[in-house]
Structure 1
Amino acid sequence: MNEFSAGFVKQIPTTSIVCLAIVLTAGTLWSLLLLIAPARAQQSEEHTRQSLVRKIQLVGAKKVSKSKILQQMSKLRPPPFWKFWQEGQEFTAEKLDSDLEQVRQLYHQEGYYRVKISAEIVEEDETVVIILYITEGPPVTIKDITFEIRDGEAAEWEERFRRIIPLQKGKIFRVKDYEQAKTAILEYLANSGYPRAKLFGRVLIREKENSAAIHLPVELGPFTRFGKIQVMGNKNISLSNIMREVTFAEGETFSMSKVFQTQSRINGLGFFRSVVVSPVDLQEGSGPVDIHILVQERKPRTIEVGVGYGTEDQLRLRVSGIYRNIFGGSRELRLSIGISGLSEEESLTFSQPYFPDPSSTSRWTLFRRLDEFPSFNVTNISSEFRIDRGISSALSATVAYRLESSSIGGLSEAAQKDQEKVYFLSYFQTGLKWNTTDSPLDPTRGELASFFVEPSLKVLGSEVSYVKATAEYKRYYHLLARPVLAGRILMGTIQPFGLNQRRVPIMKRFFSGGTLSVRGYDYQQLGPRSENGEPIGGNSLIEGNVELRFPLIGKLWGVTFLDFGNVFLSSMEFDFGSLSYSVGAGIRYKTIIGPLRLDFGYILNPQKEITTPYRFHLSIGQAF
């Protein structure tokens, strides 16, 4: 018994004591973890709160724009100032390393391969400020550009290529220019009969020498011509009408730009739901390339209904009945009826394309229109013959002749002494329009310029002689991070002959103010007034607008703007010192029919007749 007990006691140190120690140690560690975990969780939460990036400062950035640099810091970049409700992003060392690498890659793409970037982290209150110190170093410049034409006359092709690429010896090497050069060469070849060409570019960068050597081997491939042209899907629209819009013929040198131009022209006829013009087996074989034109026709007779709303004209409704390809030859007959809070209109338009030449379209319109303006109303019955001609993809010209009978009513007694009750006018309208914008409903890039002259002369049978001219220019810039900067300027004047300046027909005068001009004013409330305080318009006009459009959330955008303008009594009177200014802000909600728009405009220097120096405007579509 004793021996057994003694033996048992002897075994405790060698087995159970070790297990017991392990259990006690594990339990102790677990207890400590339970005690420490809440503290660490609290510490982590505090760290998260203190690690939101509030600001990024750039020191030494001169050759690359700061906006481009911040655009690359996607993981840590704080929200723009207009998104004031959003918090900055959480700071981590991994995010910083990733963003710094993106900034280095940006500098490399801009030609600065020896750039050095360091970061300083400054904690302020519960936020973090990141300071980037950038030593840009010398740029890499292009030392040499060589071409290797594998199946053509090298000297001739090399001379052509050098004229169209944005690369030059001695210039800074930028990856964007290099890629554009390759694209330009391939597009040039595709439009010159070599759509199967291949280009293999190489760039050797010597960082120690700050130089780049560019080598561009080009494989022309077989010279290619257009093959057979096949039109499919047309039922009511004749083949000849479609083929009139084709800009190439079988056997001509192949050009991809002519393929795209043909698709645009056929689609512009308005007779088709869809148009696809496609080369067949372009990358295979070596012979002529056949072209397939697949169209899907619209119904020949349709009814279109349009509805809109605006603060000034309230509810807008337009119903149009359209008969396409009437009498054949792509002719169109359109009957339209429109009504709003300010106007009523009925019109009948007959369109004849390809007259008087293949690049022109002629239209004859008969219409009646009633307009209710703040200080008068006018009923207009007129007939117009118009020719629109496309000169290029961006430039078009218009010539029109109109006979017009206008009955004026609603004038005050003071205004009636300078106006007739009925005017019969006979005049021409001629003009040019230049349009490179990317969208007719909501442009973000490009420009739109127009100039129109309207001579009304007694030798044409008009009761009043005058010349009216207007010039307008709009420009749209797509900035980084998606904002759009838009600007507009409009100037106009009317010069009467044999008339007092005040006797120019009031419906031909200029008016300003409202949702499409100077938005601090109500509709047509900016400019000269009668003794009773009613707007009477003027013979000269200046209007201008500047807008910054920026994204908020999803399809919702914000806008800040500055408008200016005025109307002057005399012809050729442009007094820039008498302009009225308004500032404001608004929101836009993007839709397929254009943005829904709400603007608030405030007048900085209101005219003395204005008692309320601000206005709200609700409408569909951009202001310009």
Structure 2
Amino acid sequence: SLSIEGIHAIKEEELLGVIGSTPGQPYSDFGVTTDRDNILALYFNEGFPEASFSATADRVSAAATEQKPEAGGSSGSAKGNVDKTQKEKESKTEIEQAEAVRLMYHIQEGPQTRVRRILIGGYRHTRPGVIHREVHIKVKEPLREGDVVESQRRRYNLGVFNRVSSEPQNPNGTNPEKDIAVLVEEAKRYTVAYGGGFEVQRLASTTSPTGAQIEAAPRGILEVSKLNLTGRGDSLSFKLRGSTLQGRALLGYSAPNAFANPHFSFQATAFAEKTRDINTFTEDRYEGSVQLTEQVTPLTTVLYRYAFRQVRVSNLKILSEEVPLFNQPTLVSQFGVTWFRDSRDNPAEASKGSFNSADFSDADTNVGSSASFLRFFFQNSTYYPIKRRFSFARSTRLGLLVPYGDTVSLTFPAPAPGQCIPGTAPSGPTPTIIPLPERFFAGGGTSLRGFALNQAGPRDACTGFPVGGQAMLVLNQEFRFPMRLPFIGTSLGGAIFYDGGNVYSRLSRISLHSMLPAPTFALQNPALPAGPTNVPVCATNCTNELNYFAHTIGLGVRYKTPVGPIRIDFGYQLNRPLFVIPIPCPSGAANCQVGSLGQQSTRLPGFQIFFNLGSSF
């Protein structure tokens, strides 16, 4: 049986809810100690800092006719001290071996501490109302330990304080009503960070649709930020990142507790970026966006955003007749919402848990966009530990672009014989398509490792350079295992991976077929001999749409660092299809235009190598 004495402020039913040593349960010293901790935690959280606990247990004989009292049990106080003697240990051992015990818990509640006033101090630039808003301690209410902990957590989450505390003044005084001193120590408002490095990227060639080259360049990073910009916990930051491969300048503003709600935060950004990670074109992007972030649960977040951007493309690797189609002015005015749930144990290098996200956005000509289209992107990644140090990871990514209104899908009709020779392409009205920079591209160390960076999917029917697609399906599976080497220890690991999928021209063209028919070629005029005006051109299977399911296998090496693994991946694509490209001009040839010598078929390189920092997915 169990008896509880000394309770007045808390109902017995509430105490029984945190007690495990109930009638019919096995008796143990550990169980009593656990009950003590739970009971004292309940009292502390109701404002009883001096509550104490003790326990006694009497052994009951099997016949229940003779009782032999045995002093023992567990005791505790607000300071968590328990006195144990050798005699008590022996008594508890006997009790544990008995058939039944009569257990009694003795509680001394002590006085309840209540909050008289909340005094805030230590701030210089922060507005007092911002600190008050983060304090969950209530005047005239008990001083609950849970409220104190939550108040400190919320103030730290503002990101503008080095140290916070919440302590009662004159804690040893006899007055049960206490003034609570809420103190903060503000962090430095200005921070400057800078760094340098060496950037290595395996990029597709800008002169050949199948070539790839490793390019390296120094990189510089500069960040300047000001915390607590207006005294509301907000911040302003300016970031510069530059190299010969990519450049970006970003100005960002962030404010927590939007609408005086701790679950919402507000962000505004403006940035300019120049990249050449897609060899079909060089991209200059100018974008401004506003975003509202809602923390629904500790694991679930929802983002609401609006973005307006202008993207300019240059150095297009297409026929001059196609420039009006692909070089249309790109203005995107887009509303979107993103939901994600992250339960990974370590986002930088997960071994268990899952990551799920769904993104939906709408760009419309009625709000300033050059084209009208819907965009949907979904990702599901799961991670499974195996034994102690092995793990299996998998990921599925699906992306869709759906044009509407006057915007149409980019089609891939077979070019007429000789159409891809410069100066022979037919002219006509230029339709509105989803802009080239907004289309899906894939390939590289974080998606399909059988392709060079952004080389998967449909290609221009005349030049053979990638033009992206309106649908994307990427499947990744990876088995990760440890590798022990002298002087390195457990920091080195390996992976065996499989990647499947591709970028597709549109949703209806998603296919699981692994092979495509090869293109065939014939002279422009088969009745005449080959010559400068009668060159080989594609006759059948000439679209370069390449809607097939690519299969890639490979091996990887990972080295653990505090910011994520350094990865080297070696991938090989098993089913590389043939596609059409122009016959290149001989080196040093004068007056030779690309495509003037006719067409031929080729394949992408099967073997790829990638150097990356961070997890593959």
TM-score normalised to structure 2 length: 0.64
Q: Residues 259-338 of structure 1: matches in 2 within 5 Å?
A: 259-272=148-161, 274-277=162-165, 295-307=184-196, 309-312=199-202, 314=216, 315-338=218-241
- Find out whether 1:500 has 2:408 as its counterpart: yes
Which has the higher relative contact order, 1 or 2, with Cα contacts under 8 A spaced 6 or more apart?
Answer: 2
The answer to whether the 8 A contact 1:277-1:291 is kept is no
- Cα distance change, pair 181–349 in 1 and its aligned pair in 2 (3 A): same
Tell me whether 1:377 sits opposite 2:312 in the alignment: no
Which residue number in structure 1 is paired with residue 611 of structure 2? 618
Relative distance call for 1:353 and 1:278 in structure 2 (3 A) is: closer
Deviation at residue 319 of structure 1 after TM alignment: 1.3
2:309 to 404, 410, 421: 404
Residue in structure 1 matching 2:257, options 351, 354, 371 = 354
Q: CA offset at residue 608 of structure 1?
A: 4.3
Equivalent residue for 1:157?
14
Instruction: Give the aligned partner of residue 470 of structure 2.
Output: 539
Q: CA RMSD in A?
A: 4.5
Q: Does 1:526 align with 2:456?
A: yes
Take 1:557 and 1:289, find their aligned partners in 2: how far apart are those partners?
Answer: 56
Q: 1:467 aligns with which of 360, 374, 383?
A: 374
SS of equivalent to 2:129 = helix
Aligned length in residues: 475
Q: Mean alpha-carbon deviation: is it higher for 580-589 or for 282-291?
A: 282-291
AA partner of residue 363 (structure 1): Q
The answer on whether the counterparts of 2:6 and 2:109 sit within 8 Å (CA) in structure 1 is no
Kindly provide the amino acid, as one letter, of the partner of residue 556 in structure 1: S
The whole-number CA distance in structure 2 between the counterparts of 1:216 and 1:474 is 51
Q: 1:431 aligns with which of 328, 338, 344?
A: 338
Specify which of 550, 557, 563 is matched with residue 492 of structure 2: 557
Give yes or no for contact 1:260–1:277 (8 Å, CA) kept in 2. no
Contact 1:310–1:617 under 8 Å retained in 2: no
CA change 1:294–1:327 in 2 (3 A) is: closer
Paired residue for 2:424?
none
Please give the secondary structure, in 1, of the residue aligned with 2:474: strand
2: CA distance, partners of 1:288 / 1:473: 53
- Separation in 1 of the partners of 2:370 and 2:472? 24
Q: 1:151 to 1:468 in 2, by over 3 A?
A: same
**Residues 1:358 and 1:614: Cα distance change in structure 2 (over 3 Å):** same
Which whole-Å CA distance do the structure 2 matches of 1:595 and 1:282 have between them?
A: 51
Q: Distance in 2 between matches of 1:214 and 1:621?
A: 59
Q: Trace 1:8-87 onto structure 2 (pairs within 5 A).
A: none
Identity over the aligned pairs, expressed in percent? Answer: 24
Give CA-to-partner distance per residue, 1:205-244, whole Å, 9 cap, x none.
Answer: 9999xx9999896959466656765666544434433333
| 1:201-220 to 2 correspondences below 5 Å | none
Map 1:110-259 onto structure 2 (within 5 A): 151=7, 156-157=13-14, 160-161=17-18, 221=109, 234-253=123-142, 256-259=145-148
SS at match of 1:393: coil
Where does structure 1 lack aligned partners over 5 or more consecutive residues?
1-144
Cα shift readout 1:280-313 (whole Å, capped 9, x = no counterpart): 7999999578766665543222222254545348
Q: Distance in 1 between matches of 2:102 and 2:299?
A: 35
**Distance in 2 (alpha carbons) for counterparts of 1:353 and 1:405:** 29
Amino acid at match of 1:557: L
> What is the CA-CA distance between 1:266 and the residue it aligns to?
2.6
Residue 130 of structure 2 aligns to a residue whose secondary structure is helix
CA deviations on 1:87-111 (whole Å, 9 max, x unpaired) are xxxxxxxxxxxxxxxxxxxxxxxxx
Change (3 A) 1:476 1:232: farther
Secondary structure (helix, strand or coil) at the match of 1:237 reads: coil
User: Per the alignment, in what secondary structure is the counterpart of residue 443 of structure 2?
Assistant: coil
1:418 and 1:240, CA in 2 relative to 1: closer, same or farther beyond 3 A? same
**What secondary structure is seen at the aligned counterpart in 2 of 1:299?**
coil
Deviations 1:400-426 (A, max 9, x none): 222222212222335635423321221
Gaps of 5+ in 2: 56-72, 75-91, 204-215, 411-432, 514-547, 580-602
Aligned-partner Cα distance in 2 for 1:343–1:160? 60
Q: Report if the CA contact (8 A) 2:2-2:22 is conserved.
A: no
Aligned amino acid, residue 523 of structure 1: L
User: Does the 8 Å CA contact 1:586/1:597 hold for their aligned counterparts?
Assistant: yes
Q: Is residue 27–residue 96 contact of structure 2 (8 Å, CA) maintained in 1? A: no
User: Paired residue for 1:363, among 242, 264, 267?
Assistant: 267
Cα distance in 1 between the residues matched to 2:393 and 2:171: 42
Query: What are the Cα deviations for residues 231-287 of structure 1, in whole angstroms up to 9, with x where unaligned?
Result: 665444344333333334344455555444444433332323x33546679999995
- Name the amino acid aligned to 1:602: Y
- Give me the whole-angstrom Cα distance separating, in 2, the residues matched to 1:602 and 1:205: 69
State the AA in 2 paired with 1:510.
F
3-state DSSP of counterpart to 1:244? helix
State whether structure 2 residue 444 is matched by structure 1 residue 514. Answer: yes
* Contact persistence 2:378–2:399 (CA under 8 A): yes
* SS in structure 2 at match of 1:544: strand
Q: Find the counterpart in structure 1 of residue 566 from structure 2.
A: 596
Aligned in 2, Cα 1:488/1:238: closer, same or farther, shift over 3 Å?
same
Moved more, 466-475 or 576-585: 576-585
The CA deviation at 1:514 is 0.7
What CA distance in whole angstroms lies between the structure 1 residues aligned with 2:396 and 2:241? Answer: 29
TM-fit CA distance, 1:387: 1.9
How far does residue 524 in structure 1 lie from its aligned partner after superposition?
1.0
Distance 1:234 1:205 in 2: 59
2:358 to 451, 460, 468: 451
Distance 1:619 1:259 in 2: 43
User: Are 2:513 and 1:568 aligned?
Assistant: no
Between the aligned partners of 1:437 and 1:456, the Cα distance in structure 2 is 32
Q: 1:544 deviation in Å?
A: 3.1
Query: Judging changes above 3 Å, is the alpha-carbon distance between structure 1 residues 192 and 393 closer, same or farther for their aligned structure 2 residues?
Result: farther
- Distance across 2 between alignment mates of 1:279 and 1:157: 27
Change in CA separation of 1:382 and 1:156 when aligned onto 2, cut-off 3 Å: same
1:305 is paired with a residue of what secondary structure?
strand
Partners of 1:497 and 1:204 lie apart in 2 by 78
The answer (yes or no) to whether the contact 2:220–2:242 under 8 Å persists in 1 is yes
Question: What's the CA shift for 1:457?
Answer: 1.2
